[in-house]
């Protein structure tokens, strides 16, 4: 069964902290994505990666960075967390970009206080 | 530019009613893909269907059916005889053939929250 696993369901962090959100997929997919979901705004792409050590900015990369050292793992990093980064974060992976479906993790609800 | 519009923010129905979720898309490409995802209260997006731009055949899967019409750039989703377990947020999404960069990534609509009451 296809699986994308995010390391935490809920996180509470303080303003200014460095935050790591981890995502692992077991499907040998080339592509991995990080989305942010906010009420009324839907899902917005933060960063994506189409290969190990490769990354590209999505629609809202400011305040975030990513790391992909191994094919199965894609990390989202908040260098200095701020309250406006309180959100639901969703990781996804897909075999190809465009013509195949993406599989999503269960989401991490991050609260920055 | 690509865009997906789900005009219905929230829909509430009573169990056993039929309900249609609307999705209108914009793209300049001739090759593109349309998707529907379901997000139950647990949070994980679940893939429901993919359609490519060359296949306008409607699809039925149990109580679910999809109507793809290129003439109106719409990809609507109908649930027949709705059930409480259908309560979720439903997302329509669009992608173009991947050519590198951000092309080929999924563009989501803002979602429609469906509440099915017993």
**Interchain pair A42, B109: CB under 8 A:** yes
Is A58 at the interface with chain B, CB within 8 A? yes
Burial class (CB in 10 A: 0-12, 13-18, 19+), B36: buried
What pLDDT sits at residue B81? Answer: 97
B83 CA: distance to closest CA in chain A (Å)? 23
Is B77 at the interface with chain A, CB within 8 A? no
What pLDDT sits at residue B55? Answer: 86
Q: Which two tokens stand for residue B73?
A: 């750039």
The pairing of beta strand B10-14 with beta strand B112-117: parallel
Is A42 at the interface with chain B, CB within 8 A? yes
Q: Which long-range contacts (CB under 8 A, 24 or more apart) does B98-103 make?
A: B98/A96, B98/A97, B98/A98, B98/A99, B100/A50, B101/A56, B102/A45, B102/A48, B102/A56, B102/A57, B102/A58, B103/A97, B103/A98
Is B30 at the interface with chain A, CB within 8 A? no
**Interchain pair A45, B105: CB under 8 A:** yes
Q: What string of pLDDT tens digits covers the 118 residues of chain B?
A: 789 999 999 999 999 999 999 999 999 888 899 999 999 988 889 999 999 898 888 888 999 999 999 999 999 999 999 999 999 999 999 987 655 545 567 889 999 999 999 9
Cα separation, A62 vs A36, in Å, equals 12
Is B40 at the interface with chain A, CB within 8 A? no
Residue of chain B with shortest Cα separation from A43 = B108
Q: Which two tokens stand for residue A14?
A: 């303080």
Cα separation, A60 vs A103, in Å, equals 21
pLDDT class for A91, splitting at 50, 70, 90? very high
Is B103 at the interface with chain A, CB within 8 A? yes
State percent of chain A over pLDDT 70: 96
Q: Which two tokens stand for residue A52?
A: 């190990």
pLDDT value at A21 more than 60: yes
pLDDT class for A95, splitting at 50, 70, 90? confident
What pLDDT sits at residue B19? Answer: 98
3-state SS assignment for residue B86: helix
Cα separation, A31 vs A72, in Å, equals 9
Q: Is A83 left (phi over 0), alpha (psi -120 to 50) or beta?
A: alpha
Is A90 at the interface with chain B, CB within 8 A? yes
What pLDDT sits at residue A1? Answer: 67
pLDDT class for A40, splitting at 50, 70, 90? confident
Helix (H) or strand (E) holding A99: none
Q: Is B84 left (phi over 0), alpha (psi -120 to 50) or beta?
A: alpha
Residue of chain A with shortest Cα separation from B53 = A99
B55 vs A73: which has the higher pLDDT: A73
Cα separation, B18 vs B29, in Å, equals 33
**Interchain pair B95, A98: CB under 8 A:** yes
Which of B97, B100, B110 has the CB atom closest to A41's CB atom? B110
pLDDT value at A64 more than 80: yes
């Amino acid at each position: 069964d296809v699986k994308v696993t995010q390391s935490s369901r809920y996180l509470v962090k303080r303003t200014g902290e460095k935050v790591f959100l981890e995502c692992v997929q077991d499907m040998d997919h080339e592509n991995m994505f990080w989305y942010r979901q906010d009420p009324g705004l839907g899902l917005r792409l933060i960063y994506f990666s189409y290969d190990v050590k490769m990354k590209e900015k999505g629609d809202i990369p400011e305040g975030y960075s990513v790391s992909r050292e191994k094919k199965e793992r894609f990390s989202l990093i908040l260098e200095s967390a701020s309250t406006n980064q309180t959100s639901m974060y969703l990781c996804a992976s897909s075999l190809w970009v465009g013509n195949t479906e993406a599989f999503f993790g269960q989401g991490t609800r991050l609260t920055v206080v | 530019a690509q865009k997906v519009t789900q005009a219905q923010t929230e829909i509430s129905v009573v169990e056993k009613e039929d309900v249609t979720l609307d999705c209108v898309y914009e793209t300049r490409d001739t090759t593109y893909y349309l998707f529907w995802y379901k997000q139950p209260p647990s949070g994980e997006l679940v893939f429901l269907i993919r359609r490519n731009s060359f296949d306008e055949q409607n699809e039925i899967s149990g109580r679910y059916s999809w109507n793809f019409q290129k003439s109106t750039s719409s990809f609507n989703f109908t649930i027949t005889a709705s059930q409480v377990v259908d309560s979720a947020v439903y997302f329509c999404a669009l992608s173009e053939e991947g050519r590198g960069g951000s092309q080929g990534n999924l563009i989501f609509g803002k979602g429609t929250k469906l509440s099915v009451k017993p």
